[in-house]
Structure 1
Amino acid sequence: MNLERRRLMQAAAGSLLLSLAPVDIAWGAKMIAVRMWPAEEYTRVTLESDSPLKYRHFFVRSAKPIRLVVDIDGLQLTESLKRQIAAVKPDDPYIASMRIGQYKPGTVRLVMDLKTEVKPEVFLLKPFANYQYRLVFDIYPEHPRDSIGQILASRDDTDILSAPSEEDPLASVLESLGKDTSPPPAKPANGGTAGKPSGGKKPAPSKKPSRPELVIVVDPGHGGEDPGAIGRRKTQEKTVVLQIARRLAKLIEAEPGMKAILTRNSDHFVSLGGRVAIARKARAHLLVSIHADAWVKASARGSSVFALSQKGATSAAARWLAKSQNESDMIGGVNFKDVDRQVASVLVDMTSNWTIGYSLGLGTAVLQEIKGINRLHKNHVEQAGFAVLKGQGIPSILVETAFISNPEEEKLLRSGTHQQKIARAIFTGIKKQLAADSTLLN
C-alpha cells in the first residue's frame, strides 16, 4: 500500500469517526433536574434532560402497593440521579416512594410505589424558555377527593359547548340578593294576633327559601413548573399571588350569599384551559385572576386591571403582556396531544358583548379601589386577548397587583399587611360594581 493511499484511508476513517461521534453522545442523555409538585388535585414529577428520552410505562397491580413502572432508554444512571429520585416528600398524597435502577444495558427503570389507584398522564415537552427537554408524569387520582379535582374529572361539557347568550347570567342571583325572600307573615286566625294564634302554641318557624349563591372564582396565576415573574429578591409571582388570592377568597366566603372557589390552593400547575374549565363547571358568575407584573426596567411600577378584548389589544404593552401570560401552558407544561376536548373548547372565545361590558365596569370599580393603596400604572382598564378570561358568559378581569420587578413594590407584595389591602380593595370593588349596576336588578 503506497503512502498516498494510506493517507486517504486514514482521512476517510477519521471522517467516519467524527460523523459517528455526535450520535454516540446523544445516546447517553444527561439528567439536569428532577422535580416534584405534590398537590391534592394531582402530583407532577418532571425529569429534565439535555436530550429527549424514549420511554414506556405500565402498572404492576399484583404488587403491594401498586407500582407504576417507567422504562427509560438512553439515560445515564448516576448517583446524583438516584439521590434526586429518592428525595420524595413524605406528604405526597399519591406516591409513597420512588426508586431508580439499571434495568438492562441502555435502559433505566423508574418505579413509583403508589398510595392509591391513579390515572397517570406521561408526556414529553420540548425545550421552552429556561427549560430543556422534560419527561412529565402527572399522577391523577382515580377518584378525586377535592372539589376542584371532581370538577375537572367530570366529563359533562354541555354547558361549555352550548351557544353563547346575550342574557345576563347574574340577574337572577343579584335579584334574589337584593330582595327579601322571606315569606309574608301569617294572617291571624280565630281573632288571634299575627304570630300568636289562639291555643297558646308557638307557630313553627318558617324557613327562608335558599337563595342562589354568587360564585366567584379566584384564580392565582402560574404555579408549579411555571413560577411567573421573579423579583430581584427572588420573590416568585406564583407565591405572592396565591397568598393574595387566599385572602380574597376568605373575604368572599365571609360575605353572606357569596362563595369563593380557588383554581389552585397550593403550588401546582393548572393549565389556562383548566382554569376556565373550573369556572365553567362551577357555574361561576365572576372570575378574578391575580397576577404580579414585571418589566425589563426596575423603574416600572403601579397596578393595572385588564379585561378581554374582541378587537385586539388596547396598547402594545397589553398585547405583550397577554402574549407572555398565554405562554403559561408552554412553560408549565401541558399534554397538548391528549388535551381534553373540554379544556380545548373553553379557550375558544365565545364571550358575549354583555360579558365584556360588565367586565369593564367591574375592572373600573376594582381599579378605583386599588388607587387608594397603590399607584396605578394606567388609569383605565386595558384590554387584550388573555386566554384565562375567555370563559363564555363569565365576566372576568385580570388584576396585575404591582410590578414584582420593582424593588419597592416587590417588598410590598411580600408584606402580609399589603396583601390584605390588595385583597380588600378587589373585594370592595366587586361589591360596589354589584351594587352600582342597576340594570342587573331589572
Structure 2
Amino acid sequence: MPRPPHIPLPLTATPLKRRTILKAGGTLLLSVLSPLPAQAAQILAVRVWPADDYTRVTLENDTNLKATHFIVPDPQRLVVDIEGLELNPTLKSLVAKIESEDPYIKQVRVGQNRPNVVRLVFDLKEEVRPQVFTLAPVGSYKHRLIFDLYPVAPSDPIAQMIEKGEWMRDDLAPGGRPELPAPAVADPLARLPAMAVVTPETVAPTKAAAPGPAPAKPSVVRMVTIALDPGHGGEDPGAIGAAGTREKDIVLSIAKRLKFKLEELPNVRVMLTRDGDYFVPLGTRVAKARKVQADLFVSIHADAFMKPSARGSSVFVLSERGASSSAARWLATKENLADAIGGVNMGGHDLQLASVLLDLSTTAQINDSLKLGKAVLTEIGGFARLHKASVEQAGFAVLKAPDIPSILIETAFISNPEEEAKLRDNGYQDQIAAAVTKGIKSYFAKNPPMAKSRIT
C-alpha cells in the first residue's frame, strides 16, 4: 500500500538525502537573512525659484541624500554630485525649468556620472557663493536637497531701490547709510502734515514769546520709508484655500497694491521684502527693513484655521509677556514655522542674525506698534468684518525689529470659502490696500517720524 504523501521521510533516509535537505534549508535561511540590494532614492519633484537676492533649486525626494559640490572657474560652473541616485524623468526635467531671466544660472546639465551617482553641472552667469544643504520632512514636504546660489557681493536693499528709481543717491550719508535731506520750508498744500519730522527746533519754547507776531518755524521734511512684508513665498506657499488659492500669491498682490497707494503720498517710499515668488527667511525680512532704516514695518498675511467657519480681519503686534489669546498664540506658532517650511540653512548667517534681533525688542517699539495697529484696524473695520475688535499680541518673530513700529495684518481667513473668494477679488484687495494706507496716514498725523539715528 503506497505511503500517504503528507507523512515525513523516515529517519533512516540515506546520508545523501539528508545532506541535500540540509543544504537546501541553509540556502533558504541565507537568502532570508542577507540584505537586499540598496534601492536608489527617487526624486519626487524639482523646483527652481529665481530672484535678485538668490536663486534656489530644490530636489524633493523620498530619502535623505548626500551631496558634494565644488566650483569650476573660467567659465564659472557649480558641480554637484549626489550619491544614491539614478536618473529619472523628474530629475531630467530640471533642465527645462531654468528660465532665461534667471540672474545666476545660464543652464544646467544632468547626467549619470557613475553607478549610483548623479552629477548636476550649473553653468553660471556670474560668480556665486553656493549653499548646499538638506531639510528634513516638514508639512507636506518629504526630504529636500537645496542649492542656494547667492551672489558673491550680497544684494543690498538700498542699491536695489536706487536701481528701480525708488531711492536717490543724495539720500545716502558718506558712510553709505541713509540720512535726512536738508531742512526745507513745508508747504501744507503740497504735502501731508503727517510727513513732518519732530525735531528740537519744532517743539514750542517754554519761555514767553517776544511781543509781536513770531515767524512760523519751518517743519523739517524727509522721506518716510515703509517696509512691506508679503508673507511666505517660494517653497513656503502659506495657507491654501479650498479653491486652491495660495496665501503667498494673495499677499504679494495686496502688498504691490498697497505700495502703489502709499507712494502716491508725498515724501513716502516703500520697500518690499520680496517682490516675487521666492522665500525670504524671517530674520532677513527684519534685516532688510533695518538696512533701509524703515519707519514702519507691515507684514501681510491671510489666516487659516482648522474650522472653515473662522472669519474676519485681524491686526497683531509683538508681545513680550505672552499671547493675548490662545488663537493669537496658535497663529504666531504657525507663522513662525515659515523658516522650517520655506527652508533655512541651519549653518547659515541668517539664523545668527535673527537670534540677535529677537533679543532686542523694546517696550517703546511695542507701544508705537499698538498705536499703528489700532489706526489700521479701525480703517479695515470700516468695510470688513473683524475677527477681534482690538489689536492682538503674540510672539511673531517677524515683528521683532527693536527700533521699527511693526504690525502683522491678517487680511481675511483664506480657509473660509467666502473670504477666500473675497481675497481673490481685485476690488477687495484694493479696499484692503486703501484702508491700510489711510490707517498709516492717521498714525503719522498723531506720531510724526522722529529725526533720530537708528540702532545699527
| TM-score, normalization by structure 2 | 0.79
Q: Deviations over 1:228-268 (max 9, x none)?
A: 01111111100010011111112222212222111000000
Match of 2:173 in 1: none
Counterpart position of 2:64: 52
Partner of 2:182: none
Deviation at 1:24, TM superposition (A): 1.2
Number of equivalent positions: 389
> Contact (CA 8 Å) 1:349, 1:391: kept in 2 or not?
no
Matched with 2:226 is 216
1:335 deviation in Å?
Answer: 0.2
Matches within 5 A, 1:292-303: 292-303=302-313
2:118 corresponding residue in structure 1: 108
For 1:109 and 1:440, how far apart are their aligned partners in 2? 55
Instruction: Letter of the 1:24 partner, please give it.
Output: A
- Report the CA distance shift for 1:173/1:143 in structure 2 as closer, same or farther (over 3 A): farther
Query: 1:87: how far off?
Result: 2.8
Cα deviations by residue, 1:149-208 (Å, 9 ceiling, x for unpaired): 879xxxxxxx9xxxxxxxxxxx997326x969xxxxxxxxxxxxxxxxxxxxxxxxxxx9
Q: Alpha-carbon deviations, 1:99-132, whole Å to 9, x = none?
A: 1001112211101111112111111111111111
Q: Does 1:83 align with 2:93?
A: yes
Contact 1:306 1:381 in 2 (8 A): yes
Deviates more, 1:276-285 or 1:376-385: 276-285
| 2:198 matched residue in structure 1 | 175
The structure with more radius of gyration: 2
1:44 aligned partner, one-letter code: R
Map of 1:238-249 to 2, 5 A cutoff?
238-249=248-259
Shift of 1:5: 4.1
How much does 1:8 deviate? 5.3
AA of the residue aligned to 2:151: P
Which of 6, 13, 16 does residue 30 from structure 2 map onto?
A: 13
Structure 2 equivalent of residue 385 of structure 1? 395
> Equivalent residue of 1:264, what SS?
coil
Q: What letter matches 1:80 in structure 2?
A: T
Asked if 1:33 corresponds to 2:45, the answer is yes
* Match of residue 362, structure 1, among 360, 372, 382: 372
Partner of 1:426: 436
Deviations 1:58-107 (A, max 9, x none): 122133xx211111111111233212333322221211111100111221
- Tell me the residue number matched to 2:268: 258
Give the letter aligned to residue 9 of structure 1: G
1:255 and 1:430 map into 2 onto residues whose CA distance is: 11
1:56 positional shift? 1.0
Q: CA RMSD in A?
A: 2.7
Structure with more helix by fraction: 1
The one-letter code sitting in structure 1 at the alignment partner of 2:399 is L
Q: Distance in 2 between matches of 1:43 and 1:440?
A: 37
| Ranges in structure 2 where 5+ consecutive residues have no aligned partner | 1-17, 162-176, 178-193, 204-217, 452-456
C-alpha separation between the residues in 2 aligned to 1:113 and 1:426? Answer: 44
Alpha-carbon distance between aligned partners in 2 of 1:236 and 1:311, rounded to the nearest angstrom: 32
What SS does structure 2 have at the residue aligned with 1:435? Answer: helix
Question: Normalized against structure 1, the TM-score is what?
Answer: 0.82
Native 8 Å contact 1:273 1:344 kept in 2: yes
**SS of structure 1 residue aligned to 2:221:** coil
1:205-229 per-residue CA deviation (whole Å, 9 max, x = no partner) reads xxx9983322211000000000001
Percent identity (aligned): 52
- Alignment partner of 1:312 out of 314, 322, 335: 322
Q: Do the aligned partners of residues 277 and 332 (structure 1) sit closer, same or farther apart at CA in structure 2, a change above 3 Å counting? A: same
Q: The residue matched to 1:273 in structure 2 has which SS?
A: helix
Is the Cα–Cα contact under 8 Å of residues 346 and 391 in structure 1 kept in the other structure?
A: no
State the Cα deviation string for residues 22-67 of structure 1 (Å, max 9, x = none).
x713xx110000000111111111011111111111122133xx21
- The residue that corresponds to 2:81 in the other structure is 71
Matches within 5 A, 1:132-211: 132-143=142-153, 147=157, 174-175=197-198, 211=221
Distance between the aligned counterparts of 1:397 and 1:339, measured in 2?
25
Cα deviation, 1:305-351, whole Å, max 9, x if unaligned, reads: 00100000111110110000000000000001123465233442321
Report the counterpart of residue 162 of structure 1 in structure 2: none
